[in-house]
Structure 1
């Protein structure tokens, strides 16, 4: 562990112990360095790293604060990392999605409100309207699933699943589905998910989501990864 990593660990310990609560202001750089027995340069580097990871935030002219530490904030970097994955690791992503999203959809079916249902339906209608436009399909597909996940009321689960969705990957899949003239079938899978949510039928919602994710995974294996391998 480098000296900077040790400095980061010391600050994290303060947060984990509750000495620095979410929203708390850190002591001055000089005081904090003295309290932890570290140089100011090390402390400065540690703070910079924790700002990048959204654990701390610098308010210009005011000081450095602990962020809210909410899942949506701390895990938002996951999506950027996912976008860099290639080859077989893309299939691992869809496998993770297959393990989690059907269960999350079942939970959503039990908890979804009328307002949340209308939001899901709005994006489903938009998907139908833009069925020949891969980019718009991608936008509303992402929003459809985001609305379903939001209905679980579980921010951590929502952030994790949204992070592993992969915006670029989803866009490539929709372009392929439109080109292969099977986008209509995928739209029907979304309709089945919505109908299960509307009926508040958790087992049916789980089964419909599982079918949808499995179909996507199969298409990805047969088409996208094959073309990537060929290009390489």
Structure 2
């Protein structure tokens, strides 16, 4: 979605909204540098001070990161994830502590709420994850593994829980990447297929137990990073 010139009232708020939409829509991908202040000012037809104030506001909310002498980068795709990343920083244990209760409850609910389409999606993701591991494509592995966790929560069909977890997208990916760098856990030891089996059997207690065991394993090693 191309940026459009804002109206002259509430310029900063309008620019913030347009920059936020460029981030949310993926026009500016996570981790990539956004256009310069001068380029944005020209595209939007506003002064550089207006653009600078908008960028400062989005950096404060955690969506952008200003690197002096380098540029401004997309740090998160929504305010929830941005706030959590600011609070958790690089402390892997804190991220895992946030993820665990959401994923445990998600698994428990998904055991009875999941559909055949959900199960098919989970199988597809696990197969793709295992192929990525076999080929040594760690970037793809991390992406697919994080998508599996998201899909497992979505299988609970609880809109509030799903939206809360989507707000963690960036920190989930970052935590999966951190554990992958440590070589933990190996796909065969992660318990993901055991979780899938529990969902197939519609066994809520077993599903929750599998997720708890997974996080216990991660927690045991989270101080290694």
Contact between 2:106 and 2:154, CA under 8 Å: does it hold in 1?
no
1:171 paired residue among 177, 190, 202: 177
Deviation at 1:124, TM superposition (A): 1.1
Q: Does 1:148 find its partner at 2:152?
A: yes
Task: Structure 1: state its 5+ residue gaps.
Answer: 1-28, 31-39, 55-74, 225-232
Q: Does 1:186 find its partner at 2:192?
A: no
Aligned partner of 1:139 in structure 2 is: 143
Contact between 1:131 and 1:183, CA under 8 Å: does it hold in 2?
no
Aligned partner of 2:161 in structure 1 is: 157
Aligned partner of 2:89 in structure 1 is: 86
Q: 1-side partners of 2:117 and 2:153: how far apart? A: 14
Aligned partner of 2:100 in structure 1 is: 98
Root-mean-square deviation (CA, aligned residues, Å) is: 2.8
- Partner SS state of residue 121, structure 1: helix
Contact between 1:177 and 1:183, CA under 8 Å: does it hold in 2?
yes
- Partner SS state of residue 177, structure 1: coil
Deviation at 1:47, TM superposition (A): 4.1
Q: 1-side partners of 2:186 and 2:90: how far apart? A: 23
Aligned partner of 2:11 in structure 1 is: 44
Deviation at 1:91, TM superposition (A): 1.8
Deviation at 1:174, TM superposition (A): 1.3
Q: 2-side partners of 1:159 and 1:213: how far apart? A: 21
Deviation at 1:170, TM superposition (A): 1.5
- Partner SS state of residue 131, structure 1: helix
Number of residue pairs aligned between Structure 1 and Structure 2 = 161
Contact between 1:110 and 1:202, CA under 8 Å: does it hold in 2?
yes
- Partner SS state of residue 107, structure 2: helix
What's the TM-score, normalizing by structure 2? Answer: 0.61
Q: 2-side partners of 1:200 and 1:105: how far apart? A: 10
Q: Which has the larger radius of gyration?
A: 1
Q: 2-side partners of 1:115 and 1:161: how far apart? A: 20
Deviation at 1:144, TM superposition (A): 1.1
What per-residue deviation string (whole Å, max 9, x for no partner) do you get for residues 47-77 of structure 1?
44455566xxxxxxxxxxxxxxxxxxxx833
Task: Structure 2: state its 5+ residue gaps.
Answer: 1-6, 22-76
Deviation at 1:83, TM superposition (A): 4.8
Contact between 1:93 and 1:164, CA under 8 Å: does it hold in 2?
no
Structure with the larger helix share:
1
